[in-house]
Amino acid sequence: MLTNNDELKGLVIRARDGELGKVDELYFDDVTWAIRYLTADTGGWLGGRTVLISPISILQVDWPARCIDVDLTRSQIENSPNIDTHKPVSRQHEAAYLGYYNYPYYWEGPYFWGQSFYPMAPVAVDVTQTALEEKIRNESPDSHLRTTQAVAGYTIDAEDGEIGHVKRFIVDDKTWVIRYLEVATKNWWPGKKVLLTPAWVESVSWKESKVFVAATRQAIQTCPAYDETVPISRDYENSLYFHYGRPPYWIAEKEREGEVANAQKLVVSS
């Protein structure tokens, strides 16, 4: 299901033995645009400490109840590495966090989640504390993590000039990947909103607060308008990709999966 980050904000996170808190921000990496963590505002519990929740732990999103069920206990959360979310989250912080839960490192593999397109339950691996500490030390400091809150409002620069700003993020709650940037174009075309896929983002300037996309202002102006009151359908997505003359993400990902599988076969056969 495709939803926006505003809809996710405020959802109650339910552990196996009680509530943990409510969703606040989303951390995504600026390479794949996958959601790596949800931050949970624990309220009065844990003294108001904000904790990270990996999509790997998510069992389901219960939309009618506005809850997210996770395969965790309150004790696990309480004893998890204390990461200050008011400061940049380094790759060392991530390695410590993922090691604590025995989760795979998403950056070690060809897909969004390492060895899979989906956040998968971890396979038990016997890793000594010494080996884990060594792995953490060897990780790069830069994790490429950004928050949706920080990037909302960034100016969108087309190939021939500015066309609007990032308003929200459209998230796939199965792969936990940002599928689209919702762009408000009110300063150029009043009342119109459009969607752009991160696949068309050429670069992001954190210094200038700008997102540069590989599309012209004309192409964006004439693309199918986005109506936030209507669920995003596959027909609408097809019309969007057809307008830009580019393959949809579900085809591109299927092709990527086939390429990796073929490469792995070649390695085995050799």
Across 226-240, average pLDDT:
94
Per-residue confidence (pLDDT) for residue 124, from 0 to 100: 46
Q: For the segment 75-130, what is each residue's pLDDT rounded down to a tens digit? A: 999 999 888 777 778 888 888 898 899 898 888 888 889 888 889 765 545 555 56
Q: What is the DSSP letter of 105?
A: P
Across 121-147, average pLDDT:
63
Across 236-250, average pLDDT:
94
The strand pairing partners of 209, in sequence order, are none
- For residue 4, name the pLDDT band (cuts at 50, 70, 90): very high
Choose between 66 and 84: higher pLDDT.
66
Q: For the segment 168-203, what is each residue's pLDDT rounded down to a tens digit? A: 999 999 999 999 999 998 777 777 899 999 999 999
Residues of the chain with CATH 3.90.50.10: 152-252
Choose between 239 and 85: higher pLDDT.
239
Residues of the chain with CATH 2.30.30.240: 2-146
Per-residue confidence (pLDDT) for residue 132, from 0 to 100: 56
Q: Where are the extended beta strands (E) located within the chain? A: 2-4, 12-15, 18-29, 35-41, 50-53, 58-62, 67-70, 145-147, 155-158, 161-172, 177-184, 193-196, 201-205, 210-213
The mean of the pLDDT values for the chain is 86
**Rounded Cα–Cα distance for residues 86 and 195 (Å):** 29
SS3 of residue 208 by DSSP = coil
Range of lowest pLDDT (58-62, 223-227, 253-257): 253-257
Q: For the segment 20-41, what is each residue's pLDDT rounded down to a tens digit? A: 999 999 999 988 999 999 999 8
Choose between 126 and 148: higher pLDDT.
148
CATH number of this structure's domain 152-252, picked from the four choices 3.90.50.10, 3.40.228.10, 3.30.365.10, 3.40.50.1220: 3.90.50.10
User: Measured on CA atoms in the order 222, 224, 229, 232, is the torsion positive or negative?
Assistant: negative
- For residue 17, name the pLDDT band (cuts at 50, 70, 90): very high
Has residue 234 got a pLDDT over 80? yes
Has residue 260 got a pLDDT over 90? no
Across 224-235, average pLDDT:
93
**The domain 2-146: what is its CATH number?**
2.30.30.240
The strand pairing partners of 67, in sequence order, are 12, 62
